[in-house]
Amino acid sequence: MTGIFVSYRQADAKAWAIALRDDLAEVFGDDQVFLDKDTLHAGNWREQIQRELERCRVVLIVIGPRWLTITDEQNRPRIQLPDDIHHQEVALALARADVTVIPVLVDEAPMPNAAQLPPDLQKLTDQQARKIGDTQARRKADLGVLIEDIRLVGGIEAKPATTEPRESTPAPTRVGWLFLDVRTLGITFALTLFAAMFAYLNNSPVGGPEILFLLVVFYVVVLATRRLWGRISVAKGRRT
């Protein structure tokens, strides 16, 4: 179920509506916010919008400075036309008792009064409006108030916070009483290879068991030497 429906008029507040969608999706999740530009697919778009309105819990009516005055080709205010899709969205939302309608005022737009609206939209003026400021500080504060409204009246909770796993250096793997260490292994292989080549050049080639023995011996020697050197370095550091 889509929790939040963002209704707007493109020629009035399209950019604001898209920004608002992004902010709300970040808090509540993409699947909780409906914006026609993102969600409509092939088919009857009016039916799709009506279905989403019937499923939502909170409808945000984004109102900019031209919300009342935008006209059609015959110079009629579009908000007054019953077949105007934005008019229909607002009317349907207001007609539902289980939906909270929140006018969102942007670009310093004033809240319209009842006399400026057709009868089926006049209840919009009874709804508590929220403003979204155009400075970073005001916008952040205003969004915080709006998000809390949505959470309380719509019962829509914020999505769980996700944290990226931090990269860490893998610890040495313990095998019995040994600690496998990449650097120690590298030195061990180099010493074993050198010993095998030396034996070969001296006409004393070594086989698999001998090589395995040399690996174990060199690993223990190198590991012990590195640890001893580390302790000596720490002791010198303490004295200085």
Where are the chain's structural domains?
4-154, 173-239
Q: What is the per-residue pLDDT for 193?
A: 78
- Look at 22 and 236; give whichever has higher pLDDT: 22
**Opening angle at CA 185, ends 183 and 186, nearest 5:** 65
Q: Render pLDDT for 155-213 as a digit per residue (tens, 0 to 9).
A: 887 877 655 554 544 444 444 444 456 667 777 777 777 777 777 777 776 677 777 77
The four Cα atoms 25, 15, 154, 104 give a dihedral, to 10 degrees, of: 150
| Alpha carbons 6 and 22: distance in angstroms, whole number | 11
Q: What is the per-residue pLDDT for 44?
A: 61
CB of 148 closer than 8 Å to CB of 85: no
- Determine the average pLDDT of the residues in 18-26: 94
Output the CATH code of domain 4-154: 3.40.50.10140
3-state helix, strand, coil in the chain (%, to 5): 55, 10, 35
Q: Render pLDDT for 124-162 as a digit per residue (tens, 0 to 9).
A: 999 999 999 989 999 999 999 999 999 998 888 787 765
| Alpha carbons 38 and 56: distance in angstroms, whole number | 16
pTM of the model as a whole: 0.64
Q: What is the per-residue pLDDT for 228?
A: 73
CB of 78 closer than 8 Å to CB of 70: yes
Q: Render pLDDT for 217-236 as a digit per residue (tens, 0 to 9).
A: 777 787 777 777 666 655 55
